[in-house]
Structure formats: C-alpha cells, structure tokens
C-alpha cells in the first residue's frame, strides 16, 4: 500500500488529486451505506477470511520460515541491536512486518537471523525540538520468516514481539546502526490478595458465584480492608470485567475467544485499542498484568471517541471498531515504501475525505479490497484509507482503516483528560 511517508499527509498532496468539496458528501454517503446497519455489525454476515491479514501475503508467498524460539532471562542485561521506529510501540505478542531498503539495517537483520533471531524495537518520539529521541522502554522482536531479495525489492521479514526491556545505554555503530545494553523486564505475578485469610475447608464453595462472594466478604472481615478493595486486585474478576466490556463495545471478533492468560490478555488489549504512544509506553513500564488490566479498564470505561490527533475533530466512535483480523481490530502493516502503519478498522467514520483518484489493489493489506487514501477534512492530516470490496460476495462491502498515530482517544464529554496508569 502507498500513503504518506511520515504520517502527516504532506507527501500525499504531491502524488494524489484532492476531491473537491462537492465530493465530500458522496464520500460520507458511501461511508454510511452498508456499514452502519445491524446486519453488517453481525459477525455471521462477514464473509472475509480474518486469517488473511495475519499472513501478510502482500510481502510475498515465498518467505523462508525460521525454527526455534529465543527467551532471554528475566532481569538479565543483554546487548542487542535496536531498530528505532517512528510512531510504533511494539508490545509482546504483536506481529511486526518489515520491508527494509537501507543497507546497514539489512546487514543488521541478516546477522540477527544467523544468531538468535532477536532484535529490539524502540519507538522514536518527536519532541517539540529536534533531534528525535528514543523511548527508554521497548520490546524484543523475534524474526520467524524472511525473504532476502535484491535491494530494489527490499529485505522482508515477519517478526513477533516477545519481551519488554529498559534501555540502560545506547551506542551508535560505525555503519549507523544502534545497539543498546538493556535490562529484560520481569513479569510480576500477583496471587489472590485474600489467600492469607482463606480457609481451605471452604474451597468446595468456590464454584458458586453467590457463595464465593459471601465467603470473600467473611474472609475480608479478619483483615483491615473491606472485600471490594481486594476485588480490584483479583485477576479473574478483572479479566471477566474487561472481557465483558470488550464484548459490549464489540471490540474483537465476537465468535473468537479472548486470551485466558492475564498477561496475554493485557497485551492483547494494548495492541488492539488505539492508544497514544505515551499511553502504550506507560503500559510497557507496568511490570504486573493486574495493574495493566486495571489501567486498561480505566481507559476503556472513560474513552468513547476517537479524534484527529492534530485538530481534535471527531473521526469515529469506539463502538464502531471491529476486527478484520483474527489478531484483533488493530494490526501493524507495512506499505511498499517500507513505512509501518498501526491501523485500526472501523465500520464508520466522519470528517474524512478521499484524496486519491481511483481505488487501488496494489499491496493491499486485506486481499479482495481496494484502498483509497483519506485525510482529515479540517486539517488535511493523513488519517488512513477507505477499503472497498472488489468482489460482490465480500462483507463488509466497505470499511475504514485509520492510522493509530493520527488518532487521539478522548472522553465523550469532550474533556481533554489525559489517562494515567492506575497505580
């Protein structure tokens, strides 16, 4: 797929023709037609194979697969090569496709493939003043497939996020690559907060929700805190509440099961919900799944609107988010120029206009759909793409793919509140 180079939409103006204002209403009509009905929101009417985007077939069908899996010891210090990526915050479990043209980076990836297949991905954050700075937190990525072609076609890989790390110090190599000494961050597992006050003779009542609640109330009596305090830190209750909220908001495939492991679920939400870079980095800094789940519940319960990052215009409601992939409603994709876009799929959007002449199927991330570049109608920021079906039997017929870096989650009341981790 093509699109803007830096996510600002500045380059798109040189390569595409802007629609005039009379076309905007037609775009909104096309956006609303067939996308807002209950029939389209019902998963059984979706005929698209959600397993296709995960394969990233636009990279080619002849990628060589790598065997084995690398785990670095928790709390250990490692020296790893870094790949700085603007506007991308990789989390464990997230798929990372790459097309690389820069020779030093290709050399670094080739060396990585011959060793432990592991490198570090760090978000590049642009402050008010340049030069850009690296985040102090990142995630290791393990290469599991690659294709080494001529430089004109690019060096293509598929990797997956594995472990969080904190940068201790960085060093720029002679060839321009960056390596870093990092500390692999451990995952802290919290037990049942009422375990010390529980009675083993009452375990037989644990299968009854009503009896379990009464039992917890009695156990809390012998402690200094009421039972509702402990319930905020009980993993299973947090997971149940979060999954219930995700299903109510229709985030994810209703027919698919959510991760049953609290750590995996916390990272699945982190990669599936359009958060700002700073918010995702805050999540990576949290060492415990319980705290991440509480943080995510706080955000999801308060956030209902997605706005343009630059001008704060309303773009979409969170209830319109849906999954076009088995990995979730948000995925990471790379265009033909090698630029990464974390893209969230929504049924409906407003305040957008198409800026390219004709829909294109070249390098489409969703096989069977053609894409059209879209921008914010108010500030002309590149916002993503409108995908339209090229096959009559494909459902949904149309949907939007919005760039996470171009979105800002806001409260439905319009308050400019910043979300902080729940500690």
Q: How many other C-beta atoms lie within 10 A of the C-beta of residue 311?
A: 14
Cα–Cα–Cα angle for 264, 287, 277, rounded to 5 degrees: 80
State how far the Cα of 328 lies from the Cα of 312, in Å rounded to an integer.
25
Residues 155-175 pLDDT 10s: 999 999 999 999 999 999 888
For the cut 90, the answer to whether the pLDDT of residue 416 exceeds it is no
Q: What's the whole-number mean pLDDT along residues 361-382?
A: 95
What's the CATH code, domain 61-184?
A: 2.30.130.40
Q: What's the whole-number mean pLDDT along residues 216-223?
A: 58
Q: How many other C-beta atoms lie within 10 A of the C-beta of residue 15?
A: 12
Contacts of 1 (CB under 8 A, 6+ apart): 58, 333, 335, 336, 360, 362, 363, 364, 365, 371, 385
For the cut 80, the answer to whether the pLDDT of residue 395 exceeds it is yes
Mean model confidence pLDDT for the chain: 81
pTM of the model as a whole: 0.80
**Axis crossing angle, helix 235-248 with helix 262-272, rounded to the nearest 10:** 30
| Cβ atoms of residues 163 and 90 within 8 Å | no
For the cut 70, the answer to whether the pLDDT of residue 1 exceeds it is no
- 300: which 2 tokens? 């999801």
Cα–Cα–Cα angle for 226, 303, 250, rounded to 5 degrees: 95
Q: What is the pLDDT of residue 189?
A: 86
State how far the Cα of 100 lies from the Cα of 168, in Å rounded to an integer.
27
Q: What is the pLDDT of residue 245?
A: 86
Q: What is the pLDDT of residue 212?
A: 56
Contacts of 354 (CB under 8 A, 6+ apart): 19, 23, 27, 372, 373, 374, 386
- Residue 403: closest CA among 282, 270, 295, 277: 277
State how far the Cα of 77 lies from the Cα of 75, in Å rounded to an integer.
7
Q: What is the pLDDT of residue 422?
A: 36
Per-residue confidence band for 229, with pLDDT thresholds at 50, 70 and 90: low
Residues 279-328 pLDDT 10s: 899 999 999 999 999 999 988 888 889 999 999 999 999 889 999 998 88
For the cut 80, the answer to whether the pLDDT of residue 127 exceeds it is no
Q: What is the pLDDT of residue 214?
A: 60
State how far the Cα of 120 lies from the Cα of 339, in Å rounded to an integer.
17
Per-residue confidence band for 58, with pLDDT thresholds at 50, 70 and 90: very high
Q: What is the pLDDT of residue 128?
A: 47
């Amino acid at each position: 797929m093509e699109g803007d180079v830096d996510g600002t939409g500045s380059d798109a103006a040189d390569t595409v023709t802007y629609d005039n204002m009379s076309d905007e209403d037609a775009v909104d009509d096309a956006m609303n037609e067939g996308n807002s009905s209950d029939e389209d929101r019902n998963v059984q009417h979706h005929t698209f194979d959600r397993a296709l985007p995960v394969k990233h077939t636009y990279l080619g069908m002849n990628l060589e697969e790598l065997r084995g899996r690398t785990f670095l010891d928790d709390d250990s210090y490692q020296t790893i090569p870094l790949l700085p990526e603007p506007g991308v915050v990789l989390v464990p479990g997230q798929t990372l496709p790459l097309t690389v043209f820069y020779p030093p980076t290709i050399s670094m990836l080739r060396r990585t493939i011959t060793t432990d297949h592991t490198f570090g991905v760090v978000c590049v954050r642009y402050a008010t003043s340049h030069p850009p700075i690296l985040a102090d937190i990142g995630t290791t990525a393990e290469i599991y497939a690659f294709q080494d072609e001529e430089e004109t076609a690019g060096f293509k890989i598929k990797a997956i996020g594995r472990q969080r790390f904190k940068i201790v110090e960085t060093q720029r190599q002679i060839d321009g690559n960056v390596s870093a000494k990092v500390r692999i961050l451990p995952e802290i597992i919290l037990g049942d907060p009422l375990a010390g006050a529980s009675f083993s003779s009452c375990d037989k009542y644990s299968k009854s929700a009503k009896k379990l609640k009464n039992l917890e109330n009695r156990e809390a009596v012998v402690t200094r805190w009421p039972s509702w305090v402990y319930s905020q830190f009980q993993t299973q209750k947090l997971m149940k509440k979060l999954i219930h909220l995700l299903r109510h908001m229709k985030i994810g495939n209703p027919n698919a099961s959510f991760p049953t492991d609290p750590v995996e679920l916390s990272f699945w939400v982190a990669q599936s919900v359009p958060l700002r870079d700073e918010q995702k980095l805050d999540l990576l800094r949290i060492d415990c799944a319980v705290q991440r789940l509480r943080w995510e519940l706080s955000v999801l319960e308060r956030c209902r609107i997605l706005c343009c990052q630059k001008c704060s215009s309303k773009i979409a409601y969170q209830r319109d988010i849906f999954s076009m992939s088995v990995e979730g409603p948000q995925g990471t994709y790379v265009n033909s120029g090698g630029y990464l876009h974390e893209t969230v799929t929504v049924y409906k959007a407003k305040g957008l206009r198409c800026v390219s002449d004709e829909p294109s199927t070249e390098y489409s991330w969703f096989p069977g759909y053609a894409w059209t570049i879209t921008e914010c109608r108010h500030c002309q920021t590149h916002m993503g793409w409108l995908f339209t079906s090229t096959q009559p039997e494909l459902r949904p017929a149309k949907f939007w793919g919005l760039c996470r870096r171009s979105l800002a989650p806001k409260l439905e009341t319009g308050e400019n509140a910043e979300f902080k981790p729940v500690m």
